[in-house]
Structure 1
Amino acid sequence: MRYIVVFAQQEIGYAVGFDDSADAVDFLFWGYEEYDLIPYGIFDALTGEVFPYEHRGELVIDIDEETISRTARDYLKAAIRQTT
């Protein structure tokens, strides 16, 4: 799992991991379109880069990249703990 998607639903932050960047973007796109998710962005666990999500070329929410990064890293730590 390289790409960690960070989003909110009903004001609660969540993260989900994907192996492919296209799947991560699709998740945010359809989550916003169909399921009332508020997409923050994608964290690349390999490079540490953060990509704030733009829906049809426009930012959905102005969120600081550090929040996206921190949420994704917390998700990764929890995932690692569950596998050991």
Structure 2
Amino acid sequence: MRYIVVFTLFAIPVAKGFASIREAANYLERTYDDPDLSPIGLYDALGAVVISDQQDNCILTDMDECKVSRLAQLYIERIA
């Protein structure tokens, strides 16, 4: 698991890991279609960086990189 998708589920922050960026980006894109989910961002665990440019239809304009990074790192610690 290299890519971490960070989103909210019923306003509760959640993170989920994926092996490929394509899977992660697709999952993040699907959060736009679900009224109970809200996308926050995408994190590259290997490079320890937040990925800010998404697909054209999945741009996160108000993404808080510190929040994405912190939540993704907490997720990684929890599953390790």
TM above 0.5, yes or no, is yes
User: 2:40 — aligned with what?
Assistant: 40
User: 2:18 — aligned with what?
Assistant: 18
* 1:63 positional shift: 3.1
Counterparts of 1:66 and 1:52 in 2: how far apart (Å)?
Answer: 12
* 1:14 positional shift: 0.2
Contact 1:3 1:43 (C-alpha < 8 Å) held by counterparts: yes
Counterparts of 1:19 and 1:4 in 2: how far apart (Å)?
Answer: 9
Counterparts of 1:8 and 1:45 in 2: how far apart (Å)?
Answer: 19
User: 1:62 — aligned with what?
Assistant: 62
Unpaired runs of 5+ residues, structure 2, are none
Inter-CA distance 12–57: structure 2 relative to 1 (3 Å threshold): closer
Inter-CA distance 38–52: structure 2 relative to 1 (3 Å threshold): farther
CA-atom RMSD in angstroms? 1.8
Counterparts of 2:49 and 2:19 in 1: how far apart (Å)?
Answer: 15
In the superposition, the TM-score normalised over structure 2's length comes to 0.85
Give the 3-state SS of the residue equivalent to 2:47 in structure 1: coil
Contact 1:40 1:53 (C-alpha < 8 Å) held by counterparts: no
Unpaired runs of 5+ residues, structure 1, are none
Q: Which has the larger radius of gyration?
A: 1
More helix by share: 1
* 1:32 positional shift: 1.5
Letter matched to residue 17 of structure 2: G
| Alignment length (residue pairs) | 78
